[in-house]
Amino acid sequence: MQTQVHNNFIQYLGFDVHLSNNLTAVKEYIHFIERKFLLVMITEYFDESLVLLRRLMNWSMADIFYKRSNAGQTKSGTVFIGEEKEKLLNLEHNLADQMLYKHFNHSLWVKIEKEQGFKEELEIFKRLNKKVEEFCFSDELQRDKNVRMEVALRSKSIFTIGEEECLAVRIREGKAPDLVETLNNYCTFRKW
């Protein structure tokens, strides 16, 4: 099976892949993307990206809870071998994507460094997200929809989560089939 590995990411963002060897065109397009997007999230730093997005959008912590899937698994992704792997790692063949990644990885960390209390919030989010994931997919909640979980935060406030909050996490994971089907029927633009 032949897999295209020539500057896929920048091409998906609208760049003409035939200009991949034109460094000026690549740099200009990266700056164009930066002007169009408030934040470019980096998969390897998904939690950091989510917390920064939460801050930029003024969302609550509950808005960014999610269930991890396919973390650390290679079965779900494409495995590159031989010539395809060499092309992917070859700077000359994949320069535009590498420039795109380096730019936005650096940009993410510059934004994070400007945020006060970010490290503490990130640790709280990671801890809470793990507890929320465990709770929302627990047998206990499946048996009793009225059960709630309370988590004390450092600020001595209590974070409470129940069926309603878990429903949002399950919808994002595609684990609320009745609601997903209803949403698909009424929101034709939204396919899970």
Average pLDDT over residues 172-176: 62
More confident residue, 6 or 188: 6
Average pLDDT over residues 156-173: 73
pTM of the model: 0.73
**Residue-level pLDDT at 121:** 93
Question: Considering only 51-55, 57-61, 118-122, 168-172, which range has the smallest mean pLDDT?
Answer: 168-172
Distance CA 100, CA 26 (A): 8
**Tokens 């779900």 map to which residue?**
76
Q: What does the domain layout of the chain look like in residue ranges?
A: 1-115, 123-192
DSSP-derived secondary structure letter, 160: E
Average pLDDT over residues 76-95: 60
Contacts of 111 (CB under 8 A, 6+ apart): 39, 52
- Residue 124 pLDDT > 70: yes
Q: Where are the beta strands (DSSP E) in the chain?
A: 149-152, 158-161
Q: Which of 34, 186, 7, 191 is nearest to 96 (CA)?
A: 7
Using one digit for the tens of pLDDT, what is the confidence trace for 52-68?
A: 999 999 988 888 888 87
**DSSP letter string over 130-146?**
HHHHHHHT-HHHHH-TT
